[in-house]
Every structure is written in C-alpha cells, then in structure tokens.
C-alpha cells in the first residue's frame, strides 16, 4: 500500500518529509513480527502509528490493546500485564488474566514505556526474548504470542545511562525505531490540519467552518506548538466556538494562543531528551530543581546585601535611587517605598515604608538546599491544593501519576 492510500485510510493529514518517512517505515515493518519503538513528543500521534502497524499486519483480525504504562501504579502494573493468582497479594480475591494472556495472537501497544518500573522491565524482556511469562504469585511458566509496539516521549538511551531503563530492553525494543516529527518540524502541514479540524467541528455541529486570513496563517505557522497536534486541535475547536467572525484575523487568533514566554525556565534542547538551561545540560529533574533553588538563594542574598548597603551608605543618593528603581521594576520592593532623606549630620530619616518594623541589623540566614526536602514540600503543597486528588496534583507538578505514587511512598507522605 502506498503512502497516500495509508493517509486516506487512516485520516493522516500532512505532506512533510518527516511524516512521509515515518509512514513508510510503519508500512514496511507491519507485515513482520519485529518489535517497534515509536519516539516523539507528547501529542504528535504515536498511538495512530501503532494502529496503522497492527491494521496492516497479519494480526489485524486478532486483538489489539493500548496500555499507558505511566497511568498504572507501580504496585499493580505486573498484575495488569501478566496476571495474578488468587491470594497472591491483598485484594487478589480471584485469579486474573493479564494483557499478555488475553491478547495472545494480537498486538499490545505500550505507551510511555519509559515510565515502566525496572522490575516490570525484566519481565517484559523475558516475554520479548522467549515468549514466556509467569503470573504474579505463580510458578507456572506460560507462553504467549504477542507483538509489542512501544512508544515514548523520553530519551530512553539517556535513561539507560542513568540507570532508569534497562539497556538490554532498550535495544530489544528498538529493533525498528520510528521517529514521529513534532508539529513545529512540519510547518507546512499546520494550515492543512487546522482546516481539517475546523471542518470536522463544523460538520459535527452543523455550522460554517472558520477560516484564517493570510496574517493569521503566518501566526499559526510560527507558533511553537509545544502540545503538537493535540494542542492544535484544541485551539481549532476553541476558535470555532468563540470566534466573533468566521474569517479570523491575526489579532483575534492571538487571543486564543497561550503566552509561551518561558525564557527563564529550563527547556528541551532540539534533538535532545535532556533539559538544558543557560547552555548547561542537566542529567535529571532533581538537578534542575537544585539549580533553581540555588539561583533563588543567590538572588535573595544579593538583594539583602544591596538593601543593607543602601541603609549604611545613604550619601550616594544617585546610585541608591538607581538601585531602588531597579528593585521596584523587578517587583522586589513595593512601589510605595521611598529612599531615606539624609540630613546634614548624615543620619538617615525614614520618610515612608510599608513595613513599620524597625530594622535593627542584617543577618544572612542559610536556607535548606536539601533537594529531597524541597521536592517533598512541593508534593505536599500540590496535594493540599488539589484536596488529595493525585491525578490533578501530578498534572500540576509535571510528573506522571505513577511517579507521584512512588514519591508518596518514598517520602512517607500521608494524604
């Protein structure tokens, strides 16, 4: 089947070179039983490629199941995938078949494979190498014939170097790698996708589809789309509902696009799975947090020293006023703060200050930089903010629910 036929059959929109190459690889590997690793950012449509591979394979009439490894708690993922025997753990009132047993002869899609615990990775490696698995709480070896397609938005090769992912499993999974390009790498497809989403919405609700003028198209194309196709569809539907005119201008379009001014935060460097800030590549999220807390402490310390210098040397009024203006601009001092007026005896008189407490002395207090304490504090705040709802707290923290579950046990946090 040629690429255009695949696009027509599965509703794939776009003509970029990266997309066409990914579809070509998917079509070529579909008739084999080789394991496939689909890599790409969140929202690019990795699951659609797994569906294409299964539908074009000899297993197309057999079961297909998609499993999100990041959404299953660490304590139950082995049972979900491989099944368990009655009484094997608390709550196991009956024996249960796992996915590798129920999907025998078909295809299983393991999304967010980078979130899979190391113990489960060892079990998965055995399935891939021998086709054998053992239920939780059992000693009986069972056979299965399941094709595995995995997907990740992480750099698994870096994970192997950090001990977060088994190296042997990585090479076993990536027998045939497929890289799905991000939306910003296929800019020529953005207007086509927007048009498709707006037309689909209009047909569903019996309205006239919205259109973009030329300037609005340029804005749409040059937006970075961190959420990729998923974000574009969301924006298209928002505009279809809320736009005041069916011909959308650039100014109106900008109202629907989030403000992505995040230059001060660590970002992902192009082509890398590691966060990068100020030219420095970080190995993991803890190093990022450590760097942020260290910079915050440094800024506060410098602010204290600057403020005390102003109080102790009030004569240099021009320099002091410049510093105060800078602090007000950065919102580090209230706008109502007024510099002390200096008399001929050089004794400072406080004219006005929001804080009525006298300043007796300056003392630099060392703050705790223990990254585990800070991480625990952030988790507790997120849980309190969302009233104990793990899913919402994990989303706010930028981690998966499974990772949050592990952190709660690690720090012994009571919900």
Is the separation of the CB atoms in 344 and 361 below 8 Å? Answer: no
Measured between alpha carbons, how far is residue 308 from residues 11, 287, 295, 344 in Å? 65, 32, 20, 21
- DSSP for residue 185: G
For residue 365, pLDDT over 50 is answered with no
> Across residues 381-394, what is the average pLDDT?
84
Instruction: Enumerate residues 6+ apart whose C-beta is below 8 A from 119.
Output: 78
Is the separation of the CB atoms in 113 and 67 below 8 Å? Answer: no
370-410 sits in which CATH class?
mainly alpha
Euclidean distance between the first and the last CA atom of the chain, given in angstroms as a whole number: 54
> Across residues 37-59, what is the average pLDDT?
96
- For 103-162, the pLDDT digits (tens) are 999 999 999 999 999 999 999 999 999 999 999 999 999 999 999 999 999 999 999 999
Measured between alpha carbons, how far is residue 334 from residues 87, 308, 318, 350, 355 in Å? 63, 16, 19, 15, 10
For residue 19, pLDDT over 90 is answered with yes
- Nearest Cα neighbor of 150 from 183, 105, 115, 186 is 115
- Nearest Cα neighbor of 253 from 221, 298, 295 is 221
Is the separation of the CB atoms in 52 and 180 below 8 Å? Answer: no
Both structure tokens of 401: 């629910």
Average pLDDT of the chain is: 82
Handedness of CA 97, 101, 106, 112 (dihedral sign): positive
Please indicate whether the domains covering 184-256 and 370-410 agree at the CATH topology level: no
Superfamily name and number for 3-181: P-loop containing nucleotide triphosphate hydrolases (3.40.50.300)
Largest CA distance in the chain: 95
Nearest-10 crossing angle of helices 390-397, 401-410: 100
Confidence of residue 389 (pLDDT cuts 50, 70, 90): confident
Question: pLDDT over 70 for what percent of the chain?
Answer: 73
Instruction: Enumerate residues 6+ apart whose C-beta is below 8 A from 229.
Output: 43, 44, 45, 183, 193
Confidence of residue 77 (pLDDT cuts 50, 70, 90): very high
Is the separation of the CB atoms in 260 and 224 below 8 Å? Answer: yes
Measured between alpha carbons, how far is residue 6 from residues 17, 150, 201 in Å? 15, 21, 23
- For 274-318, the pLDDT digits (tens) are 555 444 444 455 556 656 666 676 667 767 676 666 666 655 545
Domain boundaries, the chain: 3-181, 184-256, 370-410
User: What CATH architecture does domain 184-256 belong to?
Assistant: Orthogonal Bundle (1.10)
Phi, psi of 93 (to 5 degrees): -80, -20
């Amino acid at each position: 089947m040629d690429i255009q036929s695949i696009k027509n059959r599965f509703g794939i929109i776009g003509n970029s070179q990266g997309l066409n190459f990914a579809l070509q690889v998917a079509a070529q590997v579909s008739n084999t039983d080789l394991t496939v690793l689909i890599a790409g950012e969140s929202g690019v449509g990795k699951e659609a490629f797994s569906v294409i591979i299964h539908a074009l394979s000899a297993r197309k009439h057999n079961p297909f199941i998609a499993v999100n490894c990041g959404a299953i708690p660490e304590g139950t993922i082995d049972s979900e995938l491989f099944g368990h025997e009655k009484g094997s753990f608390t709550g196991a009132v009956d024996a249960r078949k796992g996915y590798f047993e129920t999907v025998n002869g078909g295809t299983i899609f393991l999304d967010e494979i980078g979130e899979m615990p190391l113990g489960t990775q060892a079990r998965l490696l055995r399935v891939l190498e021998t086709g054998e698995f053992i239920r939780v709480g059992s000693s009986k070896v069972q056979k299965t014939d399941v094709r595995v397609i995995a997907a990740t938005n992480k750099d698994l090769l870096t994970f192997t170097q950090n001990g977060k992912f088994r190296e042997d499993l990585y090479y076993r999974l990536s027998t045939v790698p497929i890289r799905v390009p991000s939306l910003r790498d296929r800019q020529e497809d953005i207007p086509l996708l927007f048009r498709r989403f707006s037309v689909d919405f209009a047909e569903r609700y019996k309205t006239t589809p919205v259109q973009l003028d030329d300037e609005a198209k340029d804005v749409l194309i040059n937006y970075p789309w961190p959420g990729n196709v998923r974000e574009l569809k969301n924006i298209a539907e928002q505009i279809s509902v809320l736009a005041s005119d069916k011909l959308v201008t650039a100014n109106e379009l900008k109202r629907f696009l989030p403000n992505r001014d995040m230059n001060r935060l660590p970002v992902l460097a192009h082509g890398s799975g590691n966060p990068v800030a100020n030219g420095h590549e970080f190995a993991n999220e803890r190093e990022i947090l450590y760097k942020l807390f260290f910079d915050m402490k440094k800024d506060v310390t410098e602010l204290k020293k600057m403020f005390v210098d102003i109080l102790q040397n009030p004569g240099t009024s021009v320099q002091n006023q410049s510093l105060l203006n800078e602090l007000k601009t950065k919102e580090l001092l209230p706008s109502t703060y007024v510099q002390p007026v200096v008399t001929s005896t050089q004794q400072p008189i406080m004219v006005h200050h929001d804080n009525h407490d006298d300043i007796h002395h300056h003392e630099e207090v060392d703050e705790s930089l223990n990254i585990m304490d800070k991480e625990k504090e952030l988790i507790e705040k997120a849980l309190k903010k969302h009233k104990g709802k793990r899913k919402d707290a994990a989303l706010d923290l930028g981690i998966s629910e499974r990772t949050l579950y592990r952190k709660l046990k690690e720090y012994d946090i009571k919900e």
